[in-house]
A and B are shown apart, each in its own frame.
Chain A
């Protein structure tokens, strides 16, 4: 578990750096696609265990808070939104949606727990 959390910290750190520096030149009509949020959504959708999805959302949101300065001055905004989003996705997928591919990926074993 600790190894996986360290891995998530590193993965989201690198992704946030790419998002805030490399990726800014690839905007579409001034809008920049948020890679960190995309990864949070993907992990929330496909992670087998709930704690992994929540931890990903927390760490991703935390880095977004650290490297964001404009939208809100409240540190923790992105963290809370991401964790809320992960909870919501897990809840909706578990209770109301049956997507065969999601179930199949969740059942498969892989090192990322994806």
Chain B
């Protein structure tokens, strides 16, 4: 008995869908993905290095004029920051002396786990890093760069790998504040490596260049991790709050290695 081609195709489609449903329902998916990541990660790390070099080379050719202006601006900013650091060092010493006098312990340092970037999701703001359950990584742990810039938090954890949901991911939102100003808001990921600071009261004054850091409220991230810089302020008569577009402080080009805060 011959089976009609249409029935054959339909049966094949149903079988494939059933296969995916079974794979999703059972616990096979994570070991299955972990296996693929394990065999692919050495090549992906090499490709990441090559990609970074190639994009730097291209940027050097295409943006030479922008670089000149940027270097001048950065030199000015550097001078300003050096003078600020001197002032802050004095304050730090004073703070330590006061802590000792009041018998308060010194500030707790983070316990960090070093991880390396393996890949980025093709269509979402998520990364894959080479540390997983074996290294004691758990869902929700914050991920930062060596400069204490906030990257995101751990999503799904596999045996040898973990997913990092970037702060720019559409599913990400957390409390933040503007440095040296009594202004708080909620940082929401907008996808495609963009961020917004929302729910800022209209009477508060924010300007482009203001620095945004994480706030302890909500207990999603530790306090004072660098999030980014205000790029643009958006006010509308129709909305009760103002909104700021944030330039994220992290750059994918510079994050070969990352740190997971394990004692948070």
Contact = CB atoms under 8 A, between A and B. Distances in A.
Interface of A: 16-27, 29-32, 34, 36, 58, 64, 66-71, 73-76, 79-80
B20 A26 contact: no
Contacts of B163: 69-70
A30 to B, nearest CB: 3
B253 interface: yes
Given A74-B24, A76-B24, A69 B51 contact: no
Given A21-B47, A26-B55, A34 B193 contact: no
Contact of B122 (A19, A73, A80): A19
Closest 10 CB pairs of A and B: A70-B124, A76-B20, A30-B192, A30-B193, A70-B126, A25-B55, A22-B51, A20-B119, A21-B47, A22-B47
B20 A25 contact: no
A67 B50 CA distance: 19
Contact of A66 (B36, B47, B192): B36
B121 interface: yes
Contacts of B21: 76
B121 A70 contact: yes
Contact of A20 (B29, B54, B121, B194): B121
A67 B20 contact: no
B40 interface: yes
A65 to B, nearest CB: 9
Interface size class of B (residues with CB under 8 A): 35 or more
Nearest to B248: A30
B258 to A, nearest CB: 15
Interface of B: 16-17, 19-21, 23-24, 29, 33, 36, 40, 43-45, 47-48, 50-52, 54-55, 118-126, 128, 155-156, 163, 165, 168-169, 171, 191-194, 252-253
Of B47, B52, B169, B194, chain A has the most CB atoms within 10 Å of the CB of: B47
Given A22-B47, A75-B20, A30 B122 contact: no
Contacts of A73: 24
B23 A76 contact: yes
B128 A69 contact: yes
B124 A71 contact: yes
A25 B253 contact: yes
Contacts of A74: 20, 24
Contacts of B54: 22, 25
A4 to B, nearest CB: 18
A18 B47 contact: yes
Nearest to B128: A69
A9 to B, nearest CB: 12
Given A21-B47, A23-B51, A69 B20 contact: no
